[in-house]
Structure 1
């Protein structure tokens, strides 16, 4: 498996020189400065690619080539947006970059309620708290009908939190919910968020699935033509949020997506953390069943709680049986190699590392620390080495 590392470009506080010292060889990045729906020019791609190459690394995966919000809503001049997306795929292929991650989460990307949840070790982790989510949805956003979508016990605890919360507490919760990366550039206040949510009125899960299927029909043939593998990222967390449907959350969802437009170019980013946050998801079984469609892997772990809350655990110490997942991906690599596939390796990256040691005080993106992810990468590297070991005869 190819070891890769998420890098947010020249503005990232973690340098390419530091990344090279982690042992990772591939970079996962994007042209974040280009607005959603616009073409990624070949010149800009090559310029970023050259910057990465000068550090002795390779741009292995695009994460993400974003899907414009109008595609998810099924509104506006979609022919232009689809055409631009196809052009960007062709430009990436001309530069030799052929793995492209994207997501189809409406409005928000990954969502948490705490960015520095304290752990017993003194490190901190990202956390999603069902109580705080309910407090935000029902009492701050005041979304009509929201009460019926939350467990009564969770809602009662949310009311108690809200009664004692200061304005600073509420402002911090809004800022945290808006902090998901690589989400949209927009950061909303409460009125702004209400307005954008209203733009999804009448869009249920079935409608959103139809919009995704249309997107796939429009872009997968172009990706297949130039040898690009598109790979959809699961919902994070895998549940409806703020009245917005989520359609990439379960085994059935992923099977429907790859079946909607059958093609090697229509694949999956297998994220063990996103899928692992779903109480009904058997992540190792999903890895085994969906392995032929996996083009990229995010390997991280979560620890779930009965009320739907979860936090980011150590990479090998959460609810997901990580060695079982890695074994499934290694078996798929072996199958591809035996079949003579040239690009048989599956790139993976450690994800959402804890903040620890010298990470404190650095201005890194939430979850994208240096030492925390380095620890995760080292642990995953050990799992891969152990499972791949063949004793000397």
Structure 2
């Protein structure tokens, strides 16, 4: 059976470990959010969190994430020190028995949306991305030099009209929404500071960032192998260029390049159907089948998307991603791993973003990570898996 997991933001999360246990999840996906990016995760701090999780009758299954310091991505400043620290964190996690690490290599922003509380017809709330709204922020609020050339004429016109419709409160709300995806966004960032962070990548294109990722993989994957740890790189979210920043984990070809860079089961992916699925050019059924041997972790959610780079998050069985085909590929991969005699055949899967609904509406939720929407998603994943496994026995 797949390992049913749940993302938990640690002791400050409104959703408690006892709440999570009642959802039916058995594995926790979490991180040491209080450790500054680039510093070593010590065995003492890892064990402290692990003991807390196990006291609730759960297990710490996946780390999401050990953040990759921006200096590593840019190969600037103390990047070699940060790589050495990352290697030691992998060793320490392996020693503590935590065997899966999700991470990303997205410059600056971990994710991007334009509305965190878009209303559904049923009264629930979800995250959406509209290209014209993002362009309005980029061109008219941030005023990034040369921003307009990154958009079609149609989007530039729509962005101007949208910006002109905003009052001061609307401008502030959009700015805060975009900056939510910036690591450390609980701190205060001015637009000038944000632009300065973007400027750090002005001489780094996709090819150069890919070279930097290769150097990073060559440094960490051997350590992961020695430590019994499986790395799982997360896709770009969304899977296209934003704010002039490079992207290297946006397509099937990107993923195949990454896993071929260092040929090891420790060099794997996080199959995130929401992030890759936001791109109309990505076929998640095909990706799940082709990448199956390197799927070390999976996030399941659905999206409705169009060819103009707009998307909204939706319930698991709605949207443009064939979740049945994706989960079937995961189940079949688990069976292959069993036949190979692997002890690590069970693939951790978590319900990804869920709609705010019922008692979650109006609560202090991490964007996308309310309780009831994800509990609904987990129940649907569990039922779908059972149906798939029964059908395979026929």
TM, length-normalised to structure 1? 0.98
Residue equivalent to 1:209: 210
| Unmatched 5+ stretches in structure 2 | none
* Distance of aligned partners of 1:338 and 1:327 in 2 relative to their CA distance in 1, 3 Å threshold: same
Distance apart, 1:180 and its partner CA = 2.6
CA distance in 1: counterparts of 2:80 and 2:194, whole angstroms: 27
Give yes or no for the alignment of 1:147 onto 2:148.
yes
CA distance in 1: counterparts of 2:260 and 2:132, whole angstroms: 36
Distance apart, 1:188 and its partner CA = 2.2
CA distance in 2: counterparts of 1:176 and 1:349, whole angstroms: 24
Contact 2:353–2:368 (CA under 8 A) maintained in structure 1? yes
Residue deviations 1:300-345, cap 9 Å, x none?
Answer: 1100134211010111111000000000000100000000000100
Contact 2:108–2:182 (CA under 8 A) maintained in structure 1? no
Classify the secondary structure of the residue corresponding to 1:193: helix
Contact 1:30–1:62 (CA under 8 A) maintained in structure 2? yes
CA distance in 1: counterparts of 2:392 and 2:274, whole angstroms: 32
Contact 2:280–2:306 (CA under 8 A) maintained in structure 1? no
Contact 1:277–1:310 (CA under 8 A) maintained in structure 2? yes
Contact 1:3–1:26 (CA under 8 A) maintained in structure 2? yes
Classify the secondary structure of the residue corresponding to 1:389: helix
* Distance of aligned partners of 1:181 and 1:194 in 2 relative to their CA distance in 1, 3 Å threshold: closer
Distance apart, 1:202 and its partner CA = 0.8
* Distance of aligned partners of 1:144 and 1:67 in 2 relative to their CA distance in 1, 3 Å threshold: same
* Distance of aligned partners of 1:253 and 1:366 in 2 relative to their CA distance in 1, 3 Å threshold: same
| Unmatched 5+ stretches in structure 1 | none
Distance apart, 1:174 and its partner CA = 0.8
CA distance in 2: counterparts of 1:211 and 1:81, whole angstroms: 13
Residue equivalent to 1:110: 111
Residue equivalent to 2:135: 134
Residue equivalent to 2:21: 20
Superposition pairs of residues 125-204 of structure 1, within 5 angstroms: 125-180=126-181, 187-204=188-205
Residue equivalent to 2:260: 259
CA distance in 1: counterparts of 2:305 and 2:392, whole angstroms: 37
CA distance in 2: counterparts of 1:249 and 1:392, whole angstroms: 35
* Distance of aligned partners of 1:391 and 1:293 in 2 relative to their CA distance in 1, 3 Å threshold: closer
Q: CA RMSD in A?
A: 1.4
Would you say how many aligned residue pairs link Structure 1 and Structure 2?
393
Distance apart, 1:141 and its partner CA = 1.4
* Distance of aligned partners of 1:325 and 1:181 in 2 relative to their CA distance in 1, 3 Å threshold: farther
Residue equivalent to 2:363: 362
Residue deviations 1:44-64, cap 9 Å, x none?
Answer: 100100000010000000000
Classify the secondary structure of the residue corresponding to 2:61: strand
Contact 2:272–2:300 (CA under 8 A) maintained in structure 1? yes
Contact 1:26–1:60 (CA under 8 A) maintained in structure 2? yes
Superposition pairs of residues 59-138 of structure 1, within 5 angstroms: 59-138=60-139
Contact 1:351–1:373 (CA under 8 A) maintained in structure 2? yes
CA distance in 2: counterparts of 1:15 and 1:182, whole angstroms: 23
**Runs of 4+ in structure 1 displaced over 2 angstroms?**
180-188, 390-393
Residue deviations 1:146-173, cap 9 Å, x none?
Answer: 1111121111111011112111111100
Distance apart, 1:79 and its partner CA = 2.2
* Distance of aligned partners of 1:186 and 1:208 in 2 relative to their CA distance in 1, 3 Å threshold: farther
Distance apart, 1:78 and its partner CA = 2.1
Which deviates the most, 136-145 or 176-185? Answer: 176-185
Superposition pairs of residues 335-346 of structure 1, within 5 angstroms: 335-346=336-347
CA distance in 1: counterparts of 2:111 and 2:392, whole angstroms: 42
Which deviates the most, 72-81 or 313-322? Answer: 72-81
Contact 1:336–1:344 (CA under 8 A) maintained in structure 2? yes
CA distance in 2: counterparts of 1:42 and 1:206, whole angstroms: 36
Residue deviations 1:254-313, cap 9 Å, x none?
Answer: 000011111111100000011111111111001000000000000011001342110101
Superposition pairs of residues 283-298 of structure 1, within 5 angstroms: 283-298=284-299
* Distance of aligned partners of 1:184 and 1:168 in 2 relative to their CA distance in 1, 3 Å threshold: closer
Residue equivalent to 1:224: 225
CA distance in 2: counterparts of 1:269 and 1:191, whole angstroms: 33
* Distance of aligned partners of 1:120 and 1:89 in 2 relative to their CA distance in 1, 3 Å threshold: same
Contact 1:300–1:314 (CA under 8 A) maintained in structure 2? yes
CA distance in 1: counterparts of 2:393 and 2:152, whole angstroms: 56
Residue equivalent to 2:38: 37
